[in-house]
């Protein structure tokens, strides 16, 4: 401020020198007061701003670690320190846990800090450290700061940190709570998203509020597209199950408040109607949220199919076992109790032998099926030629005198195949056996083969009764026999083709039934087996090689 001036022309008597001095001193004192007040106001404004910045940081959320890192940086800056660290008390534990460090700070603070009273900071002379306890129970917060050598910490900054201690404790409690909730949400999400059952939830208006990925897969609708629609619309139960909205189990649990432990219904899945078994529960409404019903639905189509299969299996096996057993018993009783002539007796014993052989085959097949359904098939693959497998089959047929009916039309230079010789030999024997069994006694059975890309296609053709087109897929399932075969009363279990198909598929191949290539009555069974890798390369070089087909 400029020095006061006096008008010399004034009539007033000039003030005495003493008076001038006094006024100057007074002015200097006022200026000094004014400067102090101004500086004080500046410091208060700085402190308020610092407090605001720290509060903003504390309110900004984040994980405890992120928050700890930001807070310790801020407090180090506020206090004018060069380094610092922040420890937090663990609920239910006396030890403090290091949360974050700023600057170079390698001082280990005792795990258990029996520090001074809350809010008091003190200086540890030995390490040049300032320990500031910012919070008490239940969540103690300890900040340790290191000042630059020879410099004091900023007391205003420390004061700001001290003032924020309650906010700090609340912010860290909140951050931990958020972290715990986030972890729990993540775990629950993993359970729901990983479930193979459909889990969905509807509100009181039967509108879908959530659906898990299993639901998306079964229904073929993304959850985002399903949410907001009514469950009846999404599940299509009114259309496929024909039930009234009132019969909806989800609506029922919301209405009654009682859970439904098990109820079966039909829903419209992506691939058509699917039978599901469901458990239904309700979360009652609370202030701020309405009631919600949750359904856990399991597709039981496979279970039902398995049950049917099991029932069919039991019925068929009982029948197939009982019939020959009754025959054996009849012949045996005749032999035992009737006075038969030796020739007749031999004949009956021979019949018993035949029937028990059939029984043996049936039991083998049942064991095969059980084995195929229960275990993954272990194949002993090795290079083998189709010619060798046919030669072995011909040898077996020669024992029964059937080899004369076999017509083999297979090129001599067919590439080797990469198969389990025992298993594919079994397929060949079974298919040729079927052809011999279902075709007239003197008709030929032909085997042909051709290379198609990486595969050898083998075909067996007979002149038998054939398999009606509509039955061709079904006869490849267990225990299914075509109606014309059943009518022919030719004995059989309905397992042979199923076993063949499974064995071929285990090699990666396909088995199918077709009309004969020449269009005459009879059956053509075709299956594919993989060529050896070397043979595949050779086959690709030579182009498709077709044999004189069967």
Partner 1 sequence: MGIGEGSTATGVQGAPLPARARAADAGDGADAGLTADELRRGLARARRSIDRHAAALTRLDAVLGDGDHGDNMAIGFRAVEELVAGLPAETLPGDLLRAVGHRLVATVGGASGPLYGTAFIEAGFRAGEAGRLEPALVGEMLRAATAGLARRGRCAIGDKTMFDTLAPATDAVVAAIESGATAAEATRAGIRAGRRGMRGTRALVARRGLALRIGERSRGHVDPGAASCLLLLIALARR
- Rule CB under 8 A: which residues touch partner 1? 42, 45-46, 49-50, 52-53, 56-57, 60, 62, 66-67, 69-70, 73-74, 77-78, 157
Pick left, alpha or beta for residue 519 (phi over 0 → left; psi -120 to 50 → alpha; otherwise beta). Answer: left
- With beta carbons less than 8 A apart as the criterion, state whether 385 and 414 touch: yes
Q: Cβ 88 to partner 1, closest distance in Å?
A: 17
Question: E-assigned strands of 259-370?
Answer: 260-269, 272-283, 292-299
Question: E-assigned strands of 428-495?
Answer: 445-452, 455-461
**Closest CB to partner 1 among residues 159, 516:** 159
**Closest CB to partner 1 among residues 77, 351:** 77
**Closest CB to partner 1 among residues 157, 466:** 157
Q: Cβ 91 to partner 1, closest distance in Å?
A: 24
- With beta carbons less than 8 A apart as the criterion, state whether 230 and 198 touch: no
**Closest CB to partner 1 among residues 71, 435:** 71
CA angle 375, 376, 382 (to 5 degrees): 130
Q: Cβ 512 to partner 1, closest distance in Å?
A: 57
**Closest CB to partner 1 among residues 6, 49:** 49
Q: Cβ 77 to partner 1, closest distance in Å?
A: 5
Q: Cβ 39 to partner 1, closest distance in Å?
A: 11
Torsion sign across C-alpha atoms 399, 400, 401, 404: negative
- With beta carbons less than 8 A apart as the criterion, state whether 530 and 455 touch: yes
SS3 296: strand
408, containing H or E segment: strand 406-409
**Closest CB to partner 1 among residues 65, 370:** 65
**Closest CB to partner 1 among residues 157, 494:** 157
DSSP code for 457: E
Those residues whose C-beta lies under 8 Å from the C-beta of residue 17, and which sit 6 or more positions away, are none
Q: Cβ 55 to partner 1, closest distance in Å?
A: 11
DSSP code for 2: P
**Closest CB to partner 1 among residues 74, 320:** 74
Q: Cβ 33 to partner 1, closest distance in Å?
A: 18
Q: Cβ 48 to partner 1, closest distance in Å?
A: 8
CA angle 425, 415, 386 (to 5 degrees): 20
Beta strands 445-452 and 406-409, pairing class? parallel
The Cα-based distances of 337 to 78, 330, 340, 346 in angstroms read 114, 10, 9, 15
């Amino acid at each position: 401020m400029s020095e006061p001036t006096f008008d010399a022309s004034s009539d007033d008597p000039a003030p005495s020198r003493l008076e001038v001095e006094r006024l100057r001193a007074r002015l200097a004192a006022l200026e000094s007061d004014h400067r102090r007040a101004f500086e004080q106001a500046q410091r208060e404004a700085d402190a308020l701003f610092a407090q605001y910045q720290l509060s903003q940081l504390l309110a900004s959320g984040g994980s405890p670690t992120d928050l700890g890192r930001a807070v310790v940086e801020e407090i180090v800056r506020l206090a004018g320190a060069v380094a610092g660290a922040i420890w937090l008390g663990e609920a239910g534990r006396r030890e403090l846990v290091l949360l974050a460090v700023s600057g170079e700070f390698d001082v280990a603070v005792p795990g258990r800090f029996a520090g001074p009273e809350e809010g008091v900071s003190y200086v540890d002379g030995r390490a040049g450290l300032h320990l500031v306890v910012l919070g008490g129970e239940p969540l103690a917060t300890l900040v340790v700061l290191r000042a630059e050598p020879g410099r004091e910490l900023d007391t205003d900054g420390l004061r700001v940190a001290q003032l924020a201690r309650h906010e700090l404790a609340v912010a860290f409690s909140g951050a931990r709570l958020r972290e715990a909730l986030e972890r729990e949400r993540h775990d629950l999400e993993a359970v729901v998203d990983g479930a193979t059952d459909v889990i969905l939830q509807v509100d009181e208006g039967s509108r879908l509020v959530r659906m898990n990925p299993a639901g998306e897969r079964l229904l073929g609708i993304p959850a985002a597209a399903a949410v907001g629609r009514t469950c009846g619309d999404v599940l299509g139960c009114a259309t496929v199950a024909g039930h009234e909205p009132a019969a909806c189990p989800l609506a029922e649990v919301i209405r009654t408040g009682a859970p439904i432990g098990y109820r079966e219904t039909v829903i419209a899945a992506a691939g058509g109607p699917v039978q599901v078994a469901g458990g239904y529960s309700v979360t009652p409404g609370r202030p701020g949220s309405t009631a919600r019903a949750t359904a856990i639905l399991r597709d039981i189509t496979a279970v039902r199919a398995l049950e049917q299969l099991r029932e069919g299996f039991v019925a068929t096996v009982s029948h197939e076992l009982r019939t020959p057993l009754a025959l054996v018993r009849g012949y045996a009783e005749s032999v035992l109790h009737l006075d038969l002539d030796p020739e007749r007796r031999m004949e009956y014993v021979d019949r018993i032998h035949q029937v028990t052989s059939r029984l043996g085959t049936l039991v083998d097949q049942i064991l095969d099926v059980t084995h195929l359904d229960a275990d993954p098939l272990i194949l002993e693959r090795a290079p083998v030629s189709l010619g060798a497998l046919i030669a072995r089959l011909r040898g077996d047929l020669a024992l029964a005198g059937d080899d004369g009916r076999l017509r083999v039309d297979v090129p001599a230079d067919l590439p080797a195949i990469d198969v389990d010789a025992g298993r594919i030999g079994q397929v060949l024997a079974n298919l040729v056996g079927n052809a011999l069994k279902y075709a007239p006694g003197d008709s030929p059975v032909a085997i042909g083969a051709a290379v198609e890309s990486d595969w050898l296609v083998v075909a067996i053709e007979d002149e038998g009764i054939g398999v009606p087109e509509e039955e061709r897929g079904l006869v490849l399932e267990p225990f299914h026999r075509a109606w014309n075969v059943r009518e022919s009363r030719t004995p059989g279990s309905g397992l042979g083709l199923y076993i063949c198909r499974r064995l071929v598929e285990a090699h990666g191949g396909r088995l199918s039934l077709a009309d004969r290539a020449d269009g005459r009555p009879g059956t053509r069974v075709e299956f594919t087996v993989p060529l050896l890798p070397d043979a595949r390369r050779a086959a690709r070089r030579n182009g498709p090689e077709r044999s004189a087909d069967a």
